[in-house]
Amino acid sequence: MPDWLQDSFKIDHELSWITLLLRLLLSLVLGAVVAGVYHFTLGRHRRQTESLMATLVLLTLVIAMITLVIGNSVARAFSLVGALAIVRFRTVVEDTRDTAFVIFAVGVGMAVGAGFFLVPILAIPFAATAVYLFRPAVIPVDSLNFFPFTVNIRIGLGFEPDKLLHEVFGKHVSGSRLTAVATARQGAALDLTYSIRLLHEHGELSFIAELNKVEGVQQVELRCN
């Protein structure tokens, strides 16, 4: 067997299970710190951030494990690159800052897996300070200009929308703005699009149910902004 092939299967260094356990534990802790920095500087003002926070922790741990597996072996490095190249991610990252946090988690995991513990421990405070200083301005949720829902209502021809929707809107909506008007069914109906703010939390179902009961309303669609 050629020497280069034998070298590919050699274990270049032996690590005790205590060392492995400490590195994986530290990667888990530092991954949680990275996720915490994301939450307190950007994520707490946005919806559905729990998924990315869990991804940051898991990614830090996985990258540390991969770095431990690779060690100093170039052959294993190329093998893992080839194996990971078949993975395709279809999730679109909405904010470039989220991408930066993903790369940051990868760097922390690599440093811990390689045994350079001081690098991420010193880098995390600097990164947290930079993210905090350049954090985006946040619009308060209770702002008068904030409308978390968009509702599309189709009304049959011959009905006045203002009179038709006045009672239901007055009961369930604390603020609204008409954003679009269009005809439908070859002019036999009218599609109205409103940006709204509901009066009661979790009142989406009751709002839709009452709109459906109104004579003249043919279709209702509610979407989160």
Every domain range in the chain assigned CATH 3.30.70.260? 149-224
Asked if the model's pLDDT at residue 132 lies above 80, the reply is: yes
pTM of the model: 0.56
Of 39, 28, 52, whose CA–CA distance to 131 is shortest? 39
pLDDT by residue (tens digit) across 43-83? 655 555 778 888 899 999 998 988 888 877 776 676 666 66
The alpha carbon of 219 is separated from its chain's Cα centroid by a whole number of angstroms, namely 31
Topology classification of domain 149-224: Alpha-Beta Plaits (3.30.70)
